[in-house]
Structure 1
């Protein structure tokens, strides 16, 4: 792959770190913060991140399983989060090559429609099943998720930025 000028060469991602970060995001989503509509979905951000950076390791099947776990945890309609996460992961994998050419703040703008679509899918399924409309504060969640994209990018790429063999003659 051709890299942008000035882009740092990254080490390969450790599969254990990928799945550990996804499990941590799942547990973070399961913390009892209360049910507010504007709360960002950390698992969705992490799924999109790894779908963009490692599409062969984190795919639609993993998104479906994490979605089922979230549906069971929140006692929501079975498949609500699963459908939203699978659609989110599908579109993230679809745009992953183009997305990596942008800077991280530009990537945040590019993934905002993905997060909007995922929340729209969840809302549509909830409304079809006879749920109540959570209010316009639901529109804050995708914006907060897009704003968290740079933070998640720095945190999850940190283990890959280490120099494997530092040498004064070969700085990486």
Structure 2
């Protein structure tokens, strides 16, 4: 793939780091759901942000199947309708894989605007499934979660790409 001018060359992503970041995001999601805020509708879904990140940056390793597995794990943890998060994560991962080549041409702040519709679609899918199953409407603050997730995109990008950064000025001791 042709790189953008000024874009830094990255080392290959370590599969252990990818899975560690996904499991850590799952654990943080579980802690956020049980913690101080409970199941507040505006709390961002950190696992969704990390899943979209890896679907964009490593679409051959992390894709729809991984998103489905983690969606089932979130359904079981929250006691939600089985498949509710699995469907929304799967749709979100499909969209991320479909747009990953185009998305990487944008700078990171513009990428957050590009992934915002993915987070909105996932949130709306979860809400529609909840309402069809007889749940209650959580309120309009439910629409804040995708906005917060999109604002977290640059932070997650910097954190998860940090191990892959190459040295800006290589020498004999640092050939990469």
Task: Find the counterpart in structure 2 of residue 19 from structure 1.
Answer: 19
Count of aligned pairs between the two proteins: 172
Determine whether 1:84 maps to 2:88. Answer: yes
- Given the two structures, how large is their TM-score scaled by the length of structure 1? 0.96
**Equivalent residue, structure 1, for 2:77:** 73
Correspondence for 1:123 = 127
State the alpha-carbon separation in 1 of the partners of residues 128 and 81 from structure 2.
Answer: 12
Cα offset, 1:10, TM superposition: 0.3
The CA RMSD over aligned residues, in Å, is 1.8
The one of 124, 137, 154 aligned to 1:150:
154
- Please report how far the alpha carbon of residue 130 of structure 1 lies from its aligned counterpart in structure 2 after TM superposition: 0.3
Structure 1 residue ranges without an equivalent (≥5): none
Provide the C-alpha distance between the structure 1 equivalents of 2:102 and 2:165, rounded to a whole number of angstroms: 21
The secondary structure found in structure 2 opposite 1:125 is helix
Seen in structure 2, the aligned counterparts of structure 1 residues 17 and 164 have a Cα distance that, compared at 3 Å, is farther
Is 1:141 the equivalent of 2:145? Answer: yes
2:62 to 58, 61, 65: 58
Q: How many Å separate the matches in 2 of 1:112 and 1:84?
A: 14
For residue 13 of structure 2, give the secondary structure of its aligned residue in structure 1.
Answer: coil
List gaps (5 residues or longer) in structure 2: none
Local SS of the residue matching 1:30: helix
CA deviation profile, 1:53-87 (whole Å, cap 9, x unmatched): 00000011110000000000000000000000000
Give CA-to-partner distance per residue, 1:30-71, whole Å, 9 cap, x none: 002211000000000000000000000001111000000000
Residue in 1 aligned with 2:3?
3
